Amino acid sequence: LDTATGIDVQDKHLAGMINEIGVGVIIIANKWDLLQETKTNTQKKQIKEHDTLLKVIHYSLPGITFAPIVFTSALNGHNVHKLLALALEVHKNRQQKISKNEMEALLPKLILYHRPVKSKGTIHPVIKRIKQIGASPPTFKIIIGYQQTLHHSYLKYLENRLREFYDFTGSPIKIIVEQAIQPELS
């Protein structure tokens, strides 16, 4: 991104494509030096400008809020040295696999903290299982009860908790919901 000109339609379109395809991403906010020239160079103002830009980027590119943001200056080399190491970290995060046992241990914690929310119908959904079925990007399958649905906001909650427990910085997370094939017999 060009911090001097701001986020444009093309940046937003590209972010949407990145999210849809599911590739790892790092947001590089270039021309940080130009913003610093227009401000008086105090530490407090620099931190405030940095925080404001982070909020603007996350607001403008909501589909890729998982992406780390690095403020750089190609002109003077500010933070450019961090990019290769960060790209390797994002690649490693995309390859990460979580064991079946870890996922089984995590599920009750997730449900205890926030009960699953239904999307349609009268039956409150029950999550039977969660497992990782792929990497690059990390993909998880959730099995819910027969003829039950999960609200999309609950999927976002699950994604956020997975990010909290495991480092998926720079990598999208895909969550697939599948209904049990038949109702359980009592």
How do residues 1-45 score in pLDDT, each as one tens digit? 998 888 999 999 999 999 889 999 999 999 888 766 555 556 666
Give the Cα separation of 29 and 2 in Å (integer).
6
| Residue 173 scores a pLDDT above 80 | yes
State the Cα angle at 118 between 112 and 120, rounded to 5°: 175
Instruction: Please answer whether residues 76 and 33 qualify as being in contact, where contact means their C-beta atoms are separated by less than 8 angstroms.
Output: yes
What is the mean predicted confidence (pLDDT) over 157-186? 89
Taking residues 102-110, report their average pLDDT. Answer: 94
Q: What is the pLDDT of residues 48-78, one digit of tens each?
A: 777 888 999 999 999 999 999 999 999 999 9
| pTM, rounded to two decimals | 0.85
d(CA 98, CA 100): 7
Q: Which of 121, 172, 174 is nearest to 150 (CA)?
A: 121
